Chains A and B, each alone.
Chain A
Amino acid sequence: MNSTGTLKSSSSELDLDRPNIEDYLPSGAAIQQEPCGKLRLHDLLDISPTLSEAAGAIVDDSFTRCFKSNPPEPWNWNIYLFPLWCFGVFLRYLIIFPTRALVLTIGWIIFLSAFIPVHLLLKGHDKLRRNIERSLVEMMCGFFVASWTGVVKYHGPRPSRRPKQVFVANHTSMIDFIILEQMTAFAVIMQKHPGWVGLLQSTILESVGCIWFNRSEAKDREIVARKLRDHVQGTDNNPLLIFPEGTCVNNHYTVMFKKGAFELGCTVCPIAIKYNKIFVDAFWNSRKQSFTTHLLQLMTSWAVVCDVWYLEPQNLKPGETPIEFAERVRDIISTRAGLKMVPWDGYLKYSRPSPKHRERKQQNFAESVLRRLEEK
């Protein structure tokens, strides 16, 4: 993994000495050639292509693969390496982890003892208060990153604070936000979480200007869209960071970007984040672990290694729809970070696909039948 970034396709990363599944999967179009000639009973009864597609989806499908945890392979499987690994476990859990927990606690104490007074006392001096709070949040995120021994390499020009720009990044875990926040205080749009995370969101993150949404509420989208627009227009607000995937993906694939970030009429600055799984897999599989467990896992590993690339700002090209714009930016991010693009909406984790995909297939089949009926 070098900083100039070999843009090798992720297939060589994923399957080191195995064949690439993408070569075996049927593409979106029909697998067989377009049938022609007069329509016969055989053609109507032969549902095998459709059945094969369904069975193929049962056996393996590109959507589930986006959310599969891929932990690094164990290496401690022989008599020489096992004691070494045990020693490593001892070191990590009993020496390094308490040190890190201590560092984090100290960080929290410093942060809170500075943040709370500033927040309460400097109520009148808004600009000064905001600047101090911004630096404090950046410092706190630095403490967090230190608590997992984060080795983060930032490439590219640092984000500037200008109005009418948003930042978009691919999403692997909530720590993405912390890693980016360490460098620049972003305002972020997040799903409201329960528990201590929610508490943090409503108190501290409020000061950097965060926007909440609720996936389950239908009307929510319009309200959020309006808030986004207002935020971006304001000159003094922190730059806005959006994760357009809408959900955590396992850092090997990208799912479709939501177009909300791309219809605000401003410049979009892509950020690509790629984690190196050498010590730990940073993917937060929210189906399998809570955020606390995830953090503990990170804190008991050797290090979290990742690369962050700040990419060239993009604007909507004339004649381009927001969806095409989103796909173009997704392509830029995926190429940079070596991720495979997948044509699914991340929210399908929580809901069913809309009927229009099925309708398209039905339409194709119906038209082909009717056309062949005409042929005599």
Chain B
Amino acid sequence: MLTQYDIEEVQQHCKNAFTQQEIVSLYQRFCQLDRNNCGFIPSDEFLSIPEFAVNPLSQSMLRLLDGFNFKEFIAFLSAFSPRATLQHKIEFIFKVYDTDCNGKVSFDDMLTVLRDLTGQYMSEQQRKEVLAQVLEEAGYTKDSFLVLSDFMKVLKQLISSITCCTGILKFHLDSGQFGSEDGSGGSRGLE
């Protein structure tokens, strides 16, 4: 069970990206996913959500999600909150690309993500060509390393596509609660 102190601590950790009610709802979801009550969600559990498992970028996201406790889980999801800043969202995208976490995104990093997104429907050669072409047009070369400020420059027109999933979060804000496995939910009964 979450106390008021816990909620406030988590809220601070995610820089107020979520309201207290949203944090409570997300906690119920976290508990639902953390079936063995070990305090974190194993990768297997995420992969057992079919909608997540069919997502082409699920592996990259799993890399970022591994071994997360609830605070880190909230911090991870805070990029998708309607209150997150554009800066925060772009930082998140950068983290997904930066597979070796060295603060720089190389041509190979971008190629890896493109490979995940296109699978077998584009040849490796085609991917390299496409990537090289768009990089050149944007003023970079194949050997340049992109840092966060480059991402900010390129993606600054990223309007609201990353907030579209927060429709889901908005639903839970409107409805007030998730309805966990053990909690209430459903019609009033006479048991």
Contacts and interface: CB of A to CB of B under 8 A. Distances in A.
A51 to B, nearest CB: 6
Contacts of A47: 57, 93, 96, 113, 117
B32 to A, nearest CB: 7
A352 interface: yes
A39 interface: yes
Nearest to B129: A373
A24 B184 CA distance: 22
A301 interface: yes
B54 A353 contact: yes
B138 A344 contact: no
Contact of B130 (A18, A62, A373): A373
A72 B29 CA distance: 19
Contact of A361 (B29, B35, B54): B54
B122 A50 contact: no
Contacts of B58: 54
A348 B174 CA distance: 30
B168 interface: yes
A82 interface: no
Given A72-B186, A74-B184, A51 B92 contact: yes
Nearest to A252: B186
A51 B61 contact: yes
A26 B120 contact: no
Interface in B129-176: 130-131, 133-135, 137-138, 140, 151, 154-155, 157-158, 161-172, 174-176
A46 interface: yes
A277 B186 contact: yes
Contacts of A15: 175
Given A51-B93, A74-B184, A361-B56, A24 B167 contact: yes
B138 A41 contact: yes
Interface in A28-77: 31-32, 39-64, 68-75
Nearest to B26: A59
Contact of A26 (B118, B155, B163, B167): B167
A7 interface: no
B26 to A, nearest CB: 7
B175 A31 contact: no
A122 B174 CA distance: 66
A21 B171 contact: yes
B32 A44 contact: no
Given A72-B188, A74-B184, A369 B130 contact: yes
B77 A362 contact: no
Contacts of B55: 50, 53-54, 57, 358, 361
A235 B155 CA distance: 69
A14 interface: yes
A293 interface: no
B154 A42 contact: yes
A15 B178 CA distance: 11
Nearest to A64: B49
B164 to A, nearest CB: 5
Contact of A56 (B96, B168, B187): B168
Nearest to A351: B48
A40 B119 contact: no
Contact of B188 (A21, A56, A73): A73
Interface string B18-56: 000000001001001101000000000011111111111
B50 A353 contact: yes
B50 A278 contact: no
B143 to A, nearest CB: 15
A55 B166 CA distance: 9
B26 A72 contact: no
Contacts of A51: 57, 61, 80, 92-93, 96, 162
B121 A56 contact: no
A69 to B, nearest CB: 6
Interface string B108-124: 00100110011111100
Contact of B93 (A43, A45, A57, A73): A45
Given A24-B171, A41-B137, A63-B49, 9 more contacts: A39-B134, A51-B57, A54-B58, A56-B165, A64-B32, A277-B189, A280-B189, A358-B56, A365-B121
24 contacts: A18-B174, A26-B164, A39-B133, A41-B135, A45-B110, A45-B155, A51-B96, A51-B162, A52-B163, A52-B166, A54-B61, A56-B80, A56-B167, A60-B168, A72-B191, A75-B189, A75-B190, A277-B189, A302-B191, A353-B50, A358-B56, A362-B119, A370-B122, A370-B130
- The 6 tightest CB contacts between A and B, nearest first, are A72-B189, A362-B119, A52-B165, A366-B121, A57-B51, A70-B186
Interface of B: 26, 29, 32-33, 35, 46-58, 61, 77, 79-80, 89, 92-93, 96-97, 110, 113-114, 117-122, 126, 130-131, 133-135, 137-138, 140, 151, 154-155, 157-158, 161-172, 174-176, 178-179, 181, 184-191
Interface of A: 13-16, 18-19, 21, 23-26, 31-32, 39-64, 68-75, 277-281, 287-288, 301-302, 344, 348, 352-353, 357-359, 361-363, 365-367, 369-370, 373
